[in-house]
Amino acid sequence: MTTQLLPGFRLGDHHIDVPLVLAPMAGITDLPFRRICKRFGVGLVVSEMIASRAVDMGRERTERMAELGDDEHPASIQIAGADPGFVTEAARWAVDHGADFVDINMGCPVKKICKQVAGSAMLKDERLVARVLEAVVKSVDVPVTLKIRTGWDEHSKNVESIARIAEASGIQMLTVHGRTRAQMFRGHACWEDIGLAKTAVSIPVIGNGDIVDAASAREMIRISGCDGVMVGRAVQGNPWVLGEVHAVLTGAALPAVPTPEMRWLIVSEHLHHLAGHHGIRTAAKLARKHVIWYSKGLHGSAEFRQSFQTLVDWQQMLDVAAGYFLGLGTHVHQHVLHPGPELAVAV
Ligand SMILES: Cc1cc2nc3c(=O)[nH]c(=O)nc-3n(C[C@H](O)[C@H](O)[C@H](O)COP(=O)(O)O)c2cc1C
CA-closest residue to ligand 1 atom 31: 233
Instruction: Give residue 332's pLDDT.
Output: 57
Instruction: Give residue 3's pLDDT.
Output: 81
Beta-bridged to residue 14, according to DSSP, are: 11
Is 190 marked active-site?
no
Q: Which of 108, 114, 190, 226 is catalytic?
A: 108
Name the residue of 25, 235, 238 whose CB sits within 8 Å of the most ligand 1 atoms, as the mutation to test its pocket.
25
Q: Is the shortest distance between the CB of 207 and ligand 1 below 6 Å?
A: no
Stretches in the chain below the pLDDT threshold 50: 333-347
Instruction: Give residue 170's pLDDT.
Output: 98
Instruction: Give residue 308's pLDDT.
Output: 97
SS3 category, 180: coil
Torsion of CA 123, 126, 127, 129, to 10 degrees: 50
How far, in Å, is the centroid of ligand 1 from the Cα of 177? 9
Q: Is the shortest distance between the CB of 48 and ligand 1 below 6 Å?
A: yes
Instruction: Give residue 113's pLDDT.
Output: 78
Read off the pTM.
0.94
pLDDT digits (tens, 9 = 90+) for 95-120: 999 999 999 999 888 888 777 767 88
What domains are defined for the chain?
9-250 (3.20.20.70), 260-331 (1.10.1200)
Torsion of CA 15, 250, 76, 29, to 10 degrees: -170
Instruction: Give residue 12's pLDDT.
Output: 97
Instruction: Give residue 314's pLDDT.
Output: 97
Contacts 24+ apart (CB under 8 A), 211-218: 211/245, 212/241, 213/241, 213/244, 213/245, 214/244, 214/245, 214/247, 214/248, 214/254, 217/244, 217/245, 217/248, 217/249, 218/5, 218/248
